[in-house]
Structure 1
Amino acid sequence: MKRIFLVVLDSVGIGEMPDAGIYGDEGSHTLYSASTSKYFSMANMKKLGLFHIDGVKEKFAEIENASYEGTVARLAESSKGKDTTTGHWEIAGIISEKPFPTYPNGFPEEILKPFEERTGRKVLCNLPYSGTDVIRDYGKEHVETGALIVYTSADSVFQIAAHEEVVPVKELYHYCEIARELLTAEHSVGRVIARPFIGTYPDYKRTSNRHDYSLQPSLTMLDQLKETGHDVLAVGKINDIFAGKGVTDTVRTQENAEGIERLIERTQWDFNGLCFVNLVDFDMVYGHRNDVDGYAKALTYFDEQLPRVLEGLREDDIIMITADHGCDPATPSTDHSREYIPLVVYGSKVKKGVNLGTRKTFADIAATILDYYQVEKRIAGTSFLKDILQ
């Protein structure tokens, strides 16, 4: 029985990609920005080799000659974009040649009019907005009128915020399903997101009942594993990102701490296949809010819990720790950043002290995982399995 634990530290990028300027992200380096905080400490990831990765070691020169216990690499994004869906899909073997549509000026009437007709509710806002700011600025009017708060961001998302006492959660989910049906062809956004909140003006607070409605991806590593009888366990928002496709077991989580606990639980499970985990707080709670100290504390907490994860690994297990894009908390932007992502691989059969350099695509992760299970690859990416096993 062989198990792979693939852990995505959502938005923990490691430096601008060569085309970052096209995205307005020159100078971004999420990990380094977090490290400037006095609350930053990642001794365990240091032991595994995080600070030896290209683009990271130059920022942390004091560890240059230290030994480390894992195999590491820097991965470039081949897809067009810098959003969650694009990043995770590429990790799973899909290279998106065309970016998902974005709406810096809000959604057109051809989308909003039929949406209002089918939901029976008017729309408020219809602009790119911070999720916490939008309920502060439009929450009172929403509660008074019942109109839905529709907003977007720099990412390809159609977000609907509603107070749980005005629009019950199940009803909000139904409205998201309507939006997902309407957003097709040129308007095929990556995700429709339900954003329920509670409270009274001006102290509104988002709840954990968020739900994402993603496009159906084409063939991924998850599909190929499932097709060949392997388990695919999803933790966090993985199931939403892949619209449930290729997943055999799923659990939603409210925060990083719960996600880590669910991961640790699964190290005790008997399964043959992949446990795919997303830890979203880095991005959602700290990156988008430009909270450097909060980001650093979240990284430190993950690092402190990492030994508990590693203790559960068995002889044939492999853990891969990576990211999906950047979200530099120290730049003026509150949006994702076009960055390389780290890859740290560890296990009893994984080579120690190996740096694979910079690889061309996140999809190499998927190719390597399929190779480990001897599944013939029908997705993008090049396996590096022979380079990491002892």
Structure 2
Amino acid sequence: MARSIILLLDSFGIGYAHDAEKFGDSGADTLGHICEWMAANRKSADGSPRYLHLPNLARLGLAGAAELSRGQKLAYPLSSDDSKIDAAYTYAEEISHGKDTLSGHWEITGVPVLFDWGYFPQQLKCFPKELVEKIIKQGNLPGVLGEKHASGTEIIKELGEEHLKTGKPIIYTSADSVLQIAAHEEVFGLERLYELCKICYELVKPYHIARVIARPFVGTRAEDFVRTGNRHDYAVPAPADTLLDKLVAAGGSVYAVGKIADIFAHRGITKHYPASGLDKLFAAALQAVQEAPDNSLVFVNFVDFDSSFGHRRNSAALPLASRSKIG
């Protein structure tokens, strides 16, 4: 069947880009660092190192792409024979001005971001006072919590209990051009959270912010708060037709799995497969591949590589979003 499939391992980089220093990302190399950590910290029963073992990805050219990108081989092989490759491979380096989700995905589909997004400063009370006041007024809220850069999983541990007591949603941002809102799915209400995000989507337009993200969670106390799969992104649409738009206009089909539909503002999408978590995303991807006809694109983002497994670089505990090269 004549189909194309994009399986994107979110933030799984293979070396840093030439302008990484500008973004504070010099030395970024997720694959290389995982290889080194595994060899140093994982041991077999006999005490020998347990290396990172990715034979299928190695067979598709991951180690070769990493060598091209890094200028040297990985310190340890990904399989028993990294030279056995059954696919074409290369690496790509972003030219977009930012390192956020929209910039990366748009560029992959032919629309690089050659303008500057707005970002909130990395400081306490990072949101403009007038913006916060409008969010509280138009959202009919008793106030808000957070107002800073934070890891989404950490901030619900920090402020989730206060949110339950006060009814104040948690607003925060990250290295991306984004405003995120965390609220308890049952106590605050999922639909109420979505409506609040729609209000904020309009309010942040003057600041050139790319996305507003609803981050619902459940639980009763800090120790058991967990984010649910009902995340929803309200994203600015691409400024020009992407590959998705052009394929659909030409009579083809685009099968979007997980957050891909949200990232592209549900434009150029034939069918959306909602899913969260690696297992469910993979199952949905297999279903999409089985159902996709000729002249179609299946596009999946395995977001957990970033949101669940991204390593923390500093005390700010920002998610892994780096100026990296991809294979």
TM-score, normalized by the shorter chain, greater than 0.5: yes
Deviation (angstroms), 1:148: 1.2
2:167 matches 1:146: yes
Q: Distance in 1 between matches of 2:22 and 2:112?
A: 19
Aligned residue type for 2:10 = D
Q: How does 1:222-301 map to 2 (within 5 A)?
A: 222-272=244-294, 273-287=296-310, 289-290=311-312
2:131 matches 1:111: yes
- 1:58 is aligned, of 63, 72, 83, to 72
Q: Distance in 2 between matches of 1:239 and 1:129?
A: 25
Q: Which residue of 1 aligns with 2:214?
A: 194
Deviation (angstroms), 1:188: 2.3
Q: 8 Å contact 2:163–2:169 — kept in the other structure?
A: yes
SS in 2 for 1:263: helix
Deviation (angstroms), 1:221: 0.7
Q: 8 Å contact 1:195–1:209 — kept in the other structure?
A: yes
Deviation (angstroms), 1:133: 1.5
Q: 8 Å contact 1:154–1:335 — kept in the other structure?
A: no
Aligned residue type for 2:307 = M
Q: Please list the CA deviations of residues 60-85 of structure 1 after superposition, one character each: whole Å capped at 9, or x if unmatched.
A: 27769824111111111010111111
- 2:90 is aligned, of 69, 73, 79, to 73
Q: Which residue of 2 aligns with 1:15?
A: 15
Q: Using CA pairs below 8 Å that are at least 6 residues apart, which structure has the higher relative contact order?
A: 1
Aligned residue type for 2:284 = R
Deviation (angstroms), 1:14: 0.8
Deviation (angstroms), 1:178: 0.5
Q: Tell me: CA distance 1:85–1:282, structure 2 relative to 1, closer, same or farther (3 Å).
A: same
Q: Please list the CA deviations of residues 292-319 of structure 1 after superposition, one character each: whole Å capped at 9, or x if unmatched.
A: xxxxxxxxxxxxxxxxxxxxxxxxxxxx
Aligned residue type for 1:202 = A
Q: Distance in 1 between matches of 2:76 and 2:218?
A: 47
For these two proteins, the number of residue pairs brought into alignment is 301
Deviation (angstroms), 1:51: 0.8
Q: Distance in 2 between matches of 1:130 and 1:102?
A: 16
Deviation (angstroms), 1:57: 6.8
Q: Distance in 2 between matches of 1:180 and 1:131?
A: 19
Q: Which residue of 2 aligns with 1:46?
A: 58
Q: Which residue of 1 aligns with 2:242?
A: 220
Q: Tell me: CA distance 1:50–1:65, structure 2 relative to 1, closer, same or farther (3 Å).
A: closer
Instruction: Please give the TM-score of this superposition, normalised by the length of structure 1.
Output: 0.73
SS in 2 for 1:72: coil
Q: How does 1:332-347 map to 2 (within 5 A)?
A: 334-342=319-327
2:121 matches 1:98: no
Aligned residue type for 2:304 = D
Q: Which residue of 1 aligns with 2:46?
A: none
- 1:88 is aligned, of 105, 125, 135, to 105
Give structure 1 stretches of 5+ with no counterpart: 291-327, 343-390
Q: Distance in 2 between matches of 1:270 and 1:277?
A: 13
Q: Please list the CA deviations of residues 190-222 of structure 1 after superposition, one character each: whole Å capped at 9, or x if unmatched.
A: 211111111112221111111111111121111
Aligned residue type for 2:60 = L
Q: How does 1:147-166 map to 2 (within 5 A)?
A: 147-166=168-187
Q: 8 Å contact 1:233–1:275 — kept in the other structure?
A: yes
Q: Which residue of 1 aligns with 2:147?
A: 126
Aligned residue type for 1:42 = L
Q: Tell me: CA distance 1:157–1:246, structure 2 relative to 1, closer, same or farther (3 Å).
A: same
Q: Please list the CA deviations of residues 29-85 of structure 1 after superposition, one character each: whole Å capped at 9, or x if unmatched.
A: 011112232472110111111111212571327769824111111111010111111
Q: Distance in 1 between matches of 2:259 and 2:118?
A: 21
Q: Tell me: CA distance 1:55–1:139, structure 2 relative to 1, closer, same or farther (3 Å).
A: same
Give structure 2 stretches of 5+ with no counterpart: 43-49
Query: Sequence identity of aligned pairs in percent?
Result: 38
Aligned residue type for 2:98 = G
Q: Distance in 1 between matches of 2:284 and 2:149?
A: 33
Q: Please list the CA deviations of residues 366-385 of structure 1 after superposition, one character each: whole Å capped at 9, or x if unmatched.
A: xxxxxxxxxxxxxxxxxxxx
Q: Which has the higher strand share?
A: 1
SS in 1 for 2:90: strand
2:43 matches 1:26: no
Q: Which residue of 2 aligns with 1:3?
A: 3
Deviation (angstroms), 1:237: 0.6
